[in-house]
């Protein structure tokens, strides 16, 4: 069991890449190119908007904490 976990951790990026490739292929076969591209674009927009929102929240929290320390 330990060897399997080490193997999975060692090849994590390969496994994730394979799963993403499989999912994209499945979407292409079942839904076509246009619908697949729309789904991928929405996923990319969601991913980057989450990064931006998370960074903004972190900045706001840090600003509030540092301002309380100054008072």
**Domain-wise residue ranges, the chain:** 1-31, 33-71
Q: Are 16 and 23 in contact (CB under 8 A)?
A: no
15, 8 Cβ separation under 8 angstroms: yes
Average pLDDT over residues 20-44: 93
* pLDDT at residue 36 in the model: 93
- For residue 61, the model assigns a pLDDT of 83
DSSP H/E element including 2: helix 2-10
Residue 41's pLDDT is: 95
Predicted TM-score (pTM) above 0.75: no
| CB-based contacts of 39, cutoff 8 Å, min separation 6 | 27, 31
pLDDT of residue 29: 95
SS percent in the chain: helix, strand, coil, step 5? 95, 0, 5
């Amino acid at each position: 069991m330990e060897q399997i976990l080490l193997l999975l951790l060692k090849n994590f990026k390969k496994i994730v890449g394979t799963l993403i490739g499989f999912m994209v292929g499945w979407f292409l076969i079942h839904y076509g190119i246009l619908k697949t591209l729309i789904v991928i674009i929405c996923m990319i927009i969601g991913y980057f908007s989450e990064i931006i929102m998370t960074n903004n929240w972190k900045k706001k929290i840090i600003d509030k904490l540092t301002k309380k320390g100054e008072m």
